[in-house]
Amino acid sequence: MDTERPDSERNAPVDSPLPRLKSPRLQSQPTSHPWIKAATYGALILLGAGLGIAGNQLIAHSSFLQTSQPQALANVPVAPQIASTQADFITNVVEKVGPAVVRIDATHTVSNPQASIFSDPFFRQFFGDQLPSQPPKEIERGVGSGFIINTNGDILTNAHVVDGVKTVTVTLKDGRTFQGKVLGSDPVTDIAVVKIDATQLPTIALGDSNRIKPGEWAIAIGNPLGLNNTVTAGIISATGRSSGNLGFANERVNFIQTDAAINPGNSGGPLLNAQGQAIGINTAIIKDAQGIGFAVPIDQAKTIADQLIATGKVAHPYLGIQLVTLTPDVQNEINRDPNSGLSVSQSQGVLVAKVIPDSPAAKAGLRAGDVIQQVNGQPVKTAEALQQAVDGSHVGSQIQLGLNRNDQALKLTVRAGQLHQQAYQPDHRNNDSNSDNNG
């Protein structure tokens, strides 16, 4: 399944009539073990928030703009109720909260890979001055969406929308334009906060994504393909879609699925309920599919954004183990694979496929081949459930693991470390870019 970020129309040359719609996301690495491939979407690395991503990370501290004290997202006022039974309830929602949805333009300078080729003496020897001159640098731009969450000028968006930049241009529906500073960006959850210095700003109230149910209305507002303030509507198709199962190996999110149309440029825009409250942040689509889009739940986004506003960064707990959800079929595949190096006697639980050297898990004594069956005294059957338990802890927390090793029951305590995001690579989701996959 090829998943991509419908978002920021990123990486299009400035002179392009429309940003190009290609920006492959980080793909999963092939493996020599067929049982791992079969369990690809059940395999996760508990690096605090997913498999390691390496590369640029955007941490612009809140000192960028200190015009006022950070406002906790929990204090954002609740939107007035709008009756969803009205035939025009979508119109009411759009009129109420549409002005708080913004366009985000990000530009940055990158090296031109063709410049060195055309200046190579070998080519010059044959073609001389006939070769065209290529500038060593070129400008790329991305277009995404965001929405204002408080009167302090804090704006929620996706991390991949502002990937690689510290300042952006923010355009409101009323035409006002501001320079925005990236307070912080978290590639693990694909959440970022941008701040503008402005007053009398419209805002969107935040809802409760833990209470939404499949079949409820969903409204998306954003700037797909640069078409500002585009509104689409549909329903909540599902909740709790694991990032690992969707192929986002570098993230730790249980996405909301919706059939409201989401296209490149929508990334970072709000997914709204019938009351006009933000219940998610639109972030990804399934490539070449229709009516399958995903949003980061707003409750998780609130938690991450509060940390970004306060400190400019997020502390993710980390164990350092690669996991596979066991089933009878997976067990048989492992035991039949002569290259697996493992012999598994359990058909349920979470198999430790690999332990990262010098990680918290390694220091606690976990080994490849261990089957984890309990976390903090509670049964655990899937890698996703174990990851959620780790995500619900804190750096420095003592995590109790009940496991089976060579048919012997053991209990180990792991002290969660802190994931260093320098080891993460941003996944160019939909910067008018696109896809991601694997878990």
Active-site residues: which are they? 160, 190, 267
Nearest C-alpha neighbor of 43 from the set 61, 31, 56: 31
Extended beta strands in 330-407, E state: 349-355, 371-375, 378-379, 398-405
Cα–Cα distance between 244 and 84 in angstroms, integer?
Answer: 34
Cβ neighbourhood burial of 259 (10 Å; 0-12, 13-18, 19+): middle
**SS3 state of residue 214:** coil
- Residues 388 and 316: their CA atoms lie apart, in Å, by 12
Instruction: Determine contact, residues 19/141, Cβ cutoff 8 Å.
Output: yes
Residues whose CB is less than 8 angstroms from the CB of residue 197 and which lie 6 or more positions away in sequence, other chains included:
65, 67, 153, 178
425: tokens are 């690579």
Tell which residue, 172, 151, 195, 206, has the closest CA to residue 99: 172
DSSP letters along 63-100, please? GG--SS----GGGSPPPPP--TTSTTHHHHHHHHHGGG
Backbone angles phi, psi at 423, to 5 degrees: -85, 5
- Token pair, residue 246, equals 């969707």
CB 425 within 8 A of CB 397: no
246 neighbors 65 (Cβ within 8 angstroms): no
Is 173:98 a contact under the CB 8 Å cutoff? yes
As a whole number of angstroms, the distance between CA 116 and CA 112 comes to 8
What ranges in 196-341 are assigned the alpha helix state H? 243-246, 298-311, 328-336
Q: Is 183 helix (H, G, I), strand (E, B) or coil?
A: strand
